[in-house]
Chains A and B, each alone.
Chain A
Amino acid sequence: MSCTQPLSGATLTDYWLGILPQGDEERVEEHIFACETCSARLAEVQAMAEGLRALARAGSLMMVVSESFLKQAGGHGLHIRRYDPPQGGSVQCTVTAEDDLLVGGLAANLSAARRLDLSLCDPTGKEQFRLVDIPFDTESGNVLWQQSITFARGAPTSTMVARLIDVGESGEETLLGEYTFNHTRTLPGPAAW
């Protein structure tokens, strides 16, 4: 059975998130209850929403998160291991089987930052990975970087250097902060990658 006026993916997503105006929400619901095609597509949105929630709970995404995300995760009973190395300094760190999320708090003066990149380097300073144009709050004074806990659990004892870099319009880069994470493996596994 096909639908002659299918609801858009954007509308279905907004409906699922509960952000449609009330009149629009009622029209969407009338349509979904009468339409097999669109109810099946809404089921796909619902499955994706549940998958995204599960993914966030699993802590396996490498990304920048907000304080409110951590607060909510803590409220859901997730165990958060967080390290806040001083700017220009280092911290000894590890991850255990009981941890759900692994977060680094990177303090820096972001008030004049334009575009902010997070560069992850080896101990020699060679860049291994870069998170480009990360979200940041100019007034918060820190960036909360979530490392994939799946990666961290499997990582051998090693050192990683994180750098916050301000990138100007013409691509010029200014180092805003550098933070060294000395990771000690506490879970069984190979000594090296």
Chain B
Amino acid sequence: MLVVMELGPAELVMRIAAGNDREAEGEFCRMMGPRIRLYGLRHLRDRQNADDLVQQVLLTALETLRDGGLREPDKLASFVLGTCRMTVLNQRRGVRRRQELLDRFGLEMLAPVPSPGPRLDHEKLANCVQSLKERERAVIVMSFYDQETAADVARFLSVSEANVRVIRHRAIHELRTCMGVA
């Protein structure tokens, strides 16, 4: 049974530092896991690598929290973000100590972490995209599929980069409204 606790960051930090509090550690993972995953998807653009990052960061953070290494408990979010940044940097440098930490903490702690995110109605999205104006649709597809620069999109549309940004924001707003997530 899933136990949902409403603990503030500072209280979580203190309980984890007090030792042997699996509930608090689980709540920490549930709270931060999805945010770390989003960070990973944004910076690594790969699901597997993002999932790996979640494990690595949670393990590293838990190790520090258990040891009482976070001296300002209300800075938990910044601490986790900093750990994300360092982990991505270290991964890029080829530094890995994941297995050692996995051996120490075990995998079961990480089980509730993976988050599939919000469900999306793909058919509705297709209808919403098709209902956009031609230029809006082109900007959206080029931005999200090609991940082209504003300069490339501007050249294709024969408009300024500033206009591309305006068109993209308008299209996103219309999409979100159409999808009911505005």
Contacts and interface: CB of A to CB of B under 8 A. Distances in A.
A68 interface: yes
Interface of B: 9, 31-32, 34-35, 38-39, 41-42, 77-78, 80-81, 115, 117-120, 122, 125-126, 129-130, 133-135, 137-138, 140-148, 150, 152, 155-158, 168-169, 172-173, 175-176, 179, 181-182
A135 B138 contact: yes
Contacts of A72: 145-146
Nearest to B175: A48
A7 to B, nearest CB: 13
Given A16-B42, A44-B181, A134-B134, A9 B176 contact: yes
A131 B134 contact: yes
A172 interface: no
23 contacts: A13-B168, A13-B172, A16-B42, A30-B77, A32-B35, A32-B39, A33-B80, A42-B38, A43-B117, A48-B175, A48-B179, A49-B144, A51-B120, A52-B125, A56-B141, A60-B126, A61-B126, A64-B134, A64-B138, A72-B146, A133-B133, A133-B134, A137-B156
B155 A18 contact: no
Contact of B141 (A36, A42, A69): A69
A149 B112 CA distance: 39
Contacts of B181: 44, 48
Given A17-B147, A48-B179, A135-B157, A65 B38 contact: no
Contacts, number: 142
B8 to A, nearest CB: 11
